[in-house]
Structure 1
Amino acid sequence: MDFSPLTDALASKSYEKIADICDDLMLKVAAEGIAFQDEWPYVIHLLGYYYVNDINSARFLWKSIPSTIKDSRAEVVAAWKIGQHLWTRDYAGVYDAIRGFDWSQEAQALVAAFSELYTKRMFQLLMSAYSTISTQDTALFLGMNEDDAAYSDVQQQGWTLDPASRMLTVKKQPHVTEQKLDPSKMQCLTEYVFHLEH
């Protein structure tokens, strides 16, 4: 089986393409009638879904994995633990599942990239949902200890800490909306102004 497109995507750190590449390869192999379960890169496939935030597809993949694979490959089960925590929105559990396994060389870079992306997503979630939040809750969402949550990353983003209450005031990012000009509306406006002038 030719996994070169997948290998190339991993090597170039094009992690956003992993899930689609795996899906295409799986369909191609299935169409050719080739048995592929034993050598399929299930861990990479699951992690690819997590990277693009497609938890439903990850669940369906997990259900299709033969029980012999689930029983014999601890890394597949470890990858699925991340998915379980994502599904239940157990934010701290996602980080625990990431850190709780010694990932193979093949999966390490993708796991690290997903962890970084997931932290960014959580940070954006906090900024959009909260005006103030406790350092304890911030630590839970961002997968770090309370001191790091209070003094490192969030303060770089302009958040301020009230040391007495251990509450962080969230600095909202300016919301920039891009206006798009509709050519037909521009034409209508031009005709209207022309009509007023003449």
Structure 2
Amino acid sequence: MDFSTLTAALASKSYDKIADVCDNLMLQVAAEGVSYQDEWPYAIHLIGHIYVDDINSARFLWKSIPSSVKENKPEVVAAWKIGQKLWTRDYGGVHEAIREFDWSQELQGLVAAYSGKLFRSHFSLTGLSRKSCIFKLYTRKMFQLLLSAYSTISIQDTALFLGMSEEDATSYVLQQGWAADPASRMLTVKKQPIVTEQKLDPSKLQRLTEYVFHLEH
């Protein structure tokens, strides 16, 4: 089976074209009556749809995948786990699903690009950093998200999520009772009693992002 167009799209980092390339290839081989199920790049196809926020198509594709493939190809299951978390707007779970699986080399670039795209899309870090009062609110809500999603997390990832330097992020979370291991550069999250008023509401965070967008434009 000729996957040269898909290989070229991945190599050129044309990630927004992956879903269409896979859909067209699937139609082509189906029209030719070629058996493709065992060798089809389902994980790439799923992440391709997820990358362009086409969760409905990803769900349809997942349902069409043979059970034998789901049982024997854990990367396919891992790809759909991202889709499941997105469906329920569990963005902390999305990042956890991305980080907990050891992705194949051909998928690493696509998954990493999607992770960055998701972060920029939902949290608009650049805009928030220009409005200090809003940024403080963003930081607090993102901190609550980290509390709910992680038990341990690297200093680098914490800094990314909080929109701070690694030094400032470490100082911030240490003030909240977290513990740091300088050798492994990992942070241990200190869970806090859940207060109803402080629960993270993804819809509120989305509205915050939209508000900042309007301020900046």
Same fold by TM (over 0.5)?
yes
Give the structure 1 partner of residue 162 of structure 2: 149
Root-mean-square deviation (Å):
3.4
Query: 8 Å contact 1:5–1:21 — kept in the other structure?
Result: yes
- 2:159–2:165: 8 Å Cα contact kept in structure 1? no
Q: 1:123 deviation in Å?
A: 1.4
Residues 1:70 and 2:70 are matched in the alignment: yes
In structure 2, the partner of 1:47 is 47
Query: What are the superposed Cα offsets for residues 99-141 of structure 1, whole Å, 9 maximum, x if unpaired?
Result: 000000111111111111111112139969x956363421428
Q: In the alignment, is the contact (CA less than 8 A) between 1:85 and 1:94 conserved in 2?
A: yes
Do structure 1's residue 4 and structure 2's residue 17 form an aligned pair?
Answer: no
Inter-partner Cα distance in structure 2 for 1:21 and 1:15? 10
The residue aligned with 2:141 is 137
1:147 Cα deviation (Å)?
Answer: 9.2
- 1:182-197 map, 5 Å: none
Task: Kindly indicate whether residue 74 of structure 2 is the aligned counterpart of residue 34 of structure 1.
Answer: no
The question of whether the paired residues in 1 share the 8 Å contact of 2:49 and 2:57 is answered with yes
How many angstroms does 1:72 deviate by? 0.3
Aligned to 1:88: 88
Q: What letter matches 1:113 in structure 2?
A: A
Equivalent residues of 2:44, 2:107 under 8 A apart? yes
Identity of aligned residues (%): 56
Aligned partners of 1:135 and 1:146 also within 8 Å: no
8 Å CA contact 1:6–1:21 kept in 2: the answer is yes
1:124-166 superposed Cα distances (whole Å, 9 cap, x missing partner): 39969x956363421428x85389516349x9xxxxx9xx99x
Cα 1:150–1:114 shift into 2, 3 Å: closer
Find the structure with the greater CA-based Rg.
1
Q: Which runs of 5+ in 2 are unaligned?
A: 150-156, 177-207
Q: Which residue of 2 aligns with 1:193?
A: none
Equivalent residues of 1:70, 1:76 under 8 A apart: yes
How many residues align structurally? Answer: 164
Residues 9, 15 of structure 1: 8 Å contact kept = yes
- Where in structure 1 do 4 or more consecutive aligned residues deviate above 2 Å? 124-128, 130-137, 143-148, 150-153, 169-176
Whichever residue aligns with residue 71 of structure 1, its letter is E
RCO comparison, higher one (Cα < 8 Å, 6+): 2
Alignment partner of 1:39: what SS? coil
Alignment match, 1:195 = none
Letter in 1 for 2:97: A
Aligned pairs for 1:51-62 within 5 A: 51-62=51-62
On the 8 A contact 1:136/1:146 being kept in 2, the answer is no
Does the alignment pair 1:172 with 2:185? no
Superposition TM-score, scaled by structure 1 size: 0.71
Structure 1: runs of 5 or more not aligned: 156-160, 177-198
**Contact 2:142–2:161 (CA<8 Å) still a contact in 1?**
no
